Structure 1
C-alpha cells in the first residue's frame, strides 16, 4: 500500500519517484463506485484521498495555524497589516480574504471526499463480507472517513458557526445550494456517527501507518473532544455567548467522560517519560504506536510547515544541512512565567535561543538568546532532524503535526468527571498522571500530591487547574483557542494576559532586586552550544558577570570569548520603557483587537466566492458588513 504520507504531497507539486499512481484521478467521484469498492486495494486508494486536504495550504498553514488566533499562550501578527493572514489574526478579515477561501475550500473538499468514501464503502458487497479480515478492513476504512469528516465539521463550526451541512455524496441534479445548519445539530450527528463507527476500527498498532493513520484511539478521543465542544459555549450572530442547555451539557459531558474512560480502559498506556522527546520523535520520523501520539498528520519532505512557522528559528544557509525554520507566533512572557520553574515542560515548550548564520563567516550555526517578545515553540526545530532535511528545504519540512495525544484524553476525562461529579479521586488520578510526567519524582510530593490536594477544594478550583494544565501541556500545539471558546473564557484570559504582561513591565522598571522577573537574559556559547543562565526568576546576574568585559565570538568555533564571559540582553525590561512609561508596542499591534472586542469575534465571514455563487447564503450577524 502506498503510504498516506506520499499522497499528501502530490498536490504540493513535489513529485516523488514511485508515486505516479497517485497522479491518477483517485477521487471516488471520478470512478465507477461499484468497481472502486469491489476490492480492498482500490478501496484503500480511494480512502487515501480523504487525507489529501491536510497537505493543502488551506489546512497546513491557514486552518491549523493562522486561524487558531492569538491566545493567552501565543501571540503574533500585526493589526495594522493588510496581509490576509494578519487580517485573520487581528479579527478584521473580510469575505474577500484569500486565506479564508483556502480553508473553507479545503474543508468542504475533504467533506465531499469523505462522503464519497462513506457511500461507496457502505454500498459495497465487501462491507459485510463473511470473511472477517475483509469486513474488518472495510470497517476501518469507513471509520477513517467518519472521523476525518467529523474533524473538518468541528473546525468549520469553531471558525464559522452555523454552516452548510452535506452528509451525502453529490449526485448530478442535486441541490448544492444549502442554507446554514445549526452547529449543535452538526456536532450531535458527527458524535453519533463516530460512536457507531469506532467499534469497527483498528488500534494504531494494527494499522500499517501506526499513529500516522486515523485509528480507533483517535476516533474515541474525537468523540470526547467533540462532546466537550457540543457541551460548551459558542458565539451567536447577535454577538452574545450561548451554551448548551443543562440537559445537553450533562449528556455530552457524560459522553466525553465515558469515551475518555473507555480508551483509558481498553488501550491505556504509560505517558512517555521524556516530554521533549515526544516532539523530537516527530522531527526524526519516529512514530510509536502505543505512546503519547494518537494521531498526527503525516507529512513528507515537501509538505507541512511544522518547524517552519511553528518551531524554533533556524537561519537559512547553504553552509548547514537543516534548512530554514521559524515561527509565526511567539510565547508571551506571561505564559513563560506561569510555569513552575521545576516543570520539565517549560524548556521543552518555550525556546529561548535562535540559530543564526553570521554573514561572511564559515560557521554553520551560532545560537543566541531570543528577545522576550520572540520566545519560540521549542517542541519542533529543523535542527532537531538528524542529518538535516537539506539546506534548500523551507516550508516543506516533513515534520508531522500532532492532532491528539493521550495526555489530552486524560485531561478530558478529568475535566468531564469534575463537571459531572466534582473533583473525584478518578478525576484527580487522571490529572496526577499528567503532572507526574512534568516533574522529577523527587518533587512529586509538593508539585503533584500537595498541588492536587489544594486545587481539589472545589469544582471551580479543579476546573481552573485543568485550564492551567492544558496550557502547560499543549503549548505550541494550537489547541488553546478552541479550548478557551468552549469554556467561554476567551475574553477573560486575554485581558488577564495583557494585565500580567503590563505588571511584568511595571515591576521591571522599578528595578526591584526581589523581582521574580529578570530584567536581563544572560547567555554564553561554548563549542556552538548555548548556556542560558538559570536565573530568569530573579535580578541576580550570573556569578562573575562583568558588564565591562567586551564579548566577542570566535567565528571558527562559535565560542563566546572570553570563554567564561556572559552576554546579556533585555528581558522583562523590554515590556515597558523607563523613559517614556509606555508599554511595548506589541501589546497594541497583537493584543488590542482581543481586549477591545467583548465578546471576541473569532467567527469568520463566509468567503465572498461562496456567497456570490449562492442564492441563500449571506454574511449576516457578527457585525459583518460584507
Structure 2
C-alpha cells in the first residue's frame, strides 16, 4: 500500500507519459545508492516524477483530477442517479478509494522528486543538465503540493524524502506555509528550466509554464489566504508569459482540443499538458480515461466509445451569447440516436439546455487504434488564454479595469467570435465597467473559455463563492431544469440532477484526509465535518 509514509525505495517507472521524447528500457528496481549516476539515469528519474501526473491508478489527470474531483458545480454535472459514492456526488466517505489514490499518487511524485533532488549532485553529468533537471523536479514537487493544498487545505509539507521509520509521523502544515514553499520552489525553478522553444512541445516544464502556473498559485493564495499582496505577484508572473514573445492564441478555438487528441503540439496556445500515449492495443503503462468517460455518448468501440457520463448545466449553456463559437464546441449541439455513431447525428432543440454532453474532446480525432476505455488525448494544464484572463483578474484587483485588463480579455473574446478587429462591439467587453462588474465578467469569461478543464470548482472556492453557488444551483435546477428525464438525450431528470447539489455541505470545501493515512499517522487530524 502506497502512502506518503512509505519507506520503500523508489521504483523508477521509465515507460512514462513522456516516452515520446525519451526512449528508455525499464529497470526492475533501484535504490538511491545504485542509481542517479549519469544523465540517462537522472532523466529516467525525472520521467518517474512526471509520470504521476497521469498515474495508472487514475488518481490524477487520467480521470480523477480531470473529471471527478472538480465536477458538480454550475458548469458541469454528473449524469445518472448519483447514488453511488463519488467525490462529485458529495456523498463519499474518507475511506473512498479515489481520495486515497489521488493523495498517495501526489505524495509519490513528491517522494520521487525529493530523492532526485537529494541525489542529483553525485551524477556524472554537466552542470547545465543537472540544473535543468533540478528545475523541473523542484517545480513538479511544488505543483504536487499545490494540488494537495488546493483540495485538502493544510497538508504535510514534504521537502525531504522519507527513508526511515522515524519519519512516518508527520503533522499537517498550515496552508500558508505550504503556499509559501510552493511559490519558493517554483520561483527557484524558473531560471533553471528551458524555454519551451528548446523542445517544442508542452509535455515538459518550461519557463513560461513555471511563470503561468505561478500566476495561478498566487491567485489561489490571494483568495484562500485572504492576502491581496499576492495579486501583484500573480500579475507580474502572468506578464512574464505575455511579454515572452513565445505565446499567442490559436485563431481557431476548437483546434486546440483537436490537437490534444491528434498528437499535434501547438506551443503558441498550449503551454503545459499531461501527455498520454496513444493506444497500441496492448497493456498500457499509462493512459487517460477522461476521453472515454465524457464526450457525446456512443457505443462504437472502433471509432471512439464515449460514455457521456458528464453533461453541461443549463447555467453554463446560458452564459454563452449568440455568436460565441465556443458554446457548440464545448457543449454538444447534437446527439447520436440509440447512442450509435452509424446513425446520423441529430441536432438538439434550441430550447434543450440541460443534459447536453460535454464535447470538448472528441475521440474521433485520436490518430491511432482504439482501446475501448483508454486513449491518448493530452490534458491541458495551462493555456495562453488562461494566462490572459489571470493577468486581467490580477490587474483589475490592483488597478481596476485598466485598458491592459480590457485588452487581455478582449483578445480571448475576439477569438471566441472569430472577430479579430481592434474594436468590435459584439465581441468586446462593455466599456465603462467598474471593478466589481469587471470581476463578474472575468468570472463568467473563465467559465466560458475554460469550461470542463478542471478550473471552475477551485476558482469558486478561491473567490469564496462555491457555497453560495451550490445553494443557488438547487434553486435554479428546481425552477428552470425540466422535471422529467430524457435519457436518450443525456438528461436524467430534476430529482437526479439535484442530488449532488443537495448533498453538498460546507465540509465539501475540502476533501477528507484518507482513512488509510489517518490510521498510519497518529499526528494526522481529519478535516472538519469528515
Same fold judged by TM-score > 0.5?
A: yes
CA distance in 2, matches of 1:311, 1:137: 41
Asked whether the equivalents of residues 187 and 230 of structure 1 are also in contact (C-alpha less than 8 Å), the reply is yes
- In the alignment, which of 267, 270, 283 is matched to residue 293 of structure 1? 270
Asked whether the equivalents of residues 77 and 590 of structure 1 are also in contact (C-alpha less than 8 Å), the reply is no
CA distance in 1, matches of 2:420, 2:478: 35
**Deviation at 1:192?**
1.1
C-alpha distance 441-119 of structure 1, shift in aligned 2 (>3 A): same
TM-score in terms of structure 1 length = 0.74
Aligned to 1:376: 357
C-alpha distance 342-229 of structure 1, shift in aligned 2 (>3 A): same
**Deviation at 1:20?**
7.3
Asked whether the equivalents of residues 165 and 186 of structure 1 are also in contact (C-alpha less than 8 Å), the reply is yes
Any gaps of 5 or more consecutive residues in structure 1? 11-15, 128-133, 234-242, 510-518, 522-568, 576-582
* Structure 1 ranges of 4+ moved more than 6 A: none
CA distance in 1, matches of 2:234, 2:171: 30
Q: Does 1:228 align with 2:219?
A: yes
User: Which whole-Å deviations, capped at 9, do the CAs of 1:524-544 have from their partners, x for residues lacking one?
Assistant: xxxxxxxxxxxxxxxxxxxxx
Aligned to 2:95: 96
CA distance in 2, matches of 1:189, 1:426: 31
- In the alignment, which of 236, 243, 247 is matched to residue 258 of structure 1? 236
**Deviation at 1:22?**
2.1
Asked whether the equivalents of residues 306 and 400 of structure 1 are also in contact (C-alpha less than 8 Å), the reply is no
CA distance in 2, matches of 1:22, 1:399: 24
Asked whether the equivalents of residues 269 and 383 of structure 2 are also in contact (C-alpha less than 8 Å), the reply is yes
Aligned to 1:21: 25
- Highest Rg: 1 or 2? 1
Aligned to 2:110: 111
Aligned to 2:310: 329
Aligned to 1:240: none
C-alpha distance 570-260 of structure 1, shift in aligned 2 (>3 A): closer
CA distance in 2, matches of 1:95, 1:202: 40
Aligned to 1:316: 300
TM-score in terms of structure 2 length = 0.87
Look up the SS of the partner of 1:601 in the other structure: helix
Look up the SS of the partner of 2:291 in the other structure: coil
CA distance in 2, matches of 1:146, 1:67: 25
The residue correspondences of 1:195-594 to structure 2 (distance < 5 A) are 195-207=187-199, 210-233=201-224, 243-244=225-226, 248-250=227-229, 252-289=230-267, 291-300=268-277, 301=279, 302=284, 303-317=287-301, 321-355=302-336, 364-369=342-347, 372-386=353-367, 389-390=369-370, 393-441=371-419, 445-449=424-428, 451-454=429-432, 457-505=433-481, 584-594=494-504
Q: How many residues align?
A: 501
Aligned to 2:161: 169
Look up the SS of the partner of 2:59 in the other structure: helix
CA distance in 2, matches of 1:91, 1:343: 32
**Deviation at 1:441?**
2.1
User: Which whole-Å deviations, capped at 9, do the CAs of 1:18-39 have from their partners, x for residues lacking one?
Assistant: 977124336xxx2326x51x42
Aligned to 2:10: none
C-alpha distance 175-358 of structure 1, shift in aligned 2 (>3 A): closer
Aligned to 2:16: 7
**Deviation at 1:326?**
3.0
C-alpha distance 358-327 of structure 1, shift in aligned 2 (>3 A): closer
Look up the SS of the partner of 1:294 in the other structure: strand
C-alpha distance 113-168 of structure 1, shift in aligned 2 (>3 A): same
Aligned to 2:4: none
Asked whether the equivalents of residues 91 and 602 of structure 1 are also in contact (C-alpha less than 8 Å), the reply is no
**Deviation at 1:328?**
2.8
CA distance in 2, matches of 1:108, 1:570: 40
Any gaps of 5 or more consecutive residues in structure 2? 1-12
The residue correspondences of 1:153-192 to structure 2 (distance < 5 A) are 153-172=145-164, 174-192=166-184
Look up the SS of the partner of 1:591 in the other structure: helix
Look up the SS of the partner of 1:222 in the other structure: helix
Asked whether the equivalents of residues 50 and 113 of structure 1 are also in contact (C-alpha less than 8 Å), the reply is yes
Asked whether the equivalents of residues 389 and 397 of structure 1 are also in contact (C-alpha less than 8 Å), the reply is no
**Deviation at 1:299?**
0.3
**Deviation at 1:259?**
0.5
C-alpha distance 273-498 of structure 1, shift in aligned 2 (>3 A): farther
C-alpha distance 210-442 of structure 1, shift in aligned 2 (>3 A): closer
CA distance in 1, matches of 2:80, 2:329: 27
Higher relative CO (Cα under 8 Å, sequence separation at least 6) belongs to: 2
Look up the SS of the partner of 1:344 in the other structure: coil
User: Which whole-Å deviations, capped at 9, do the CAs of 1:80-99 have from their partners, x for residues lacking one?
Assistant: 6233xx2x223232122111
User: Which whole-Å deviations, capped at 9, do the CAs of 1:520-569 have from their partners, x for residues lacking one?
Assistant: x9xxxxxxxxxxxxxxxxxxxxxxxxxxxxxxxxxxxxxxxxxxxxxxx9
Aligned to 1:536: none
CA distance in 1, matches of 2:242, 2:339: 50
**Deviation at 1:309?**
1.6
> How large is the Cα RMSD of the aligned pairs?
3.0
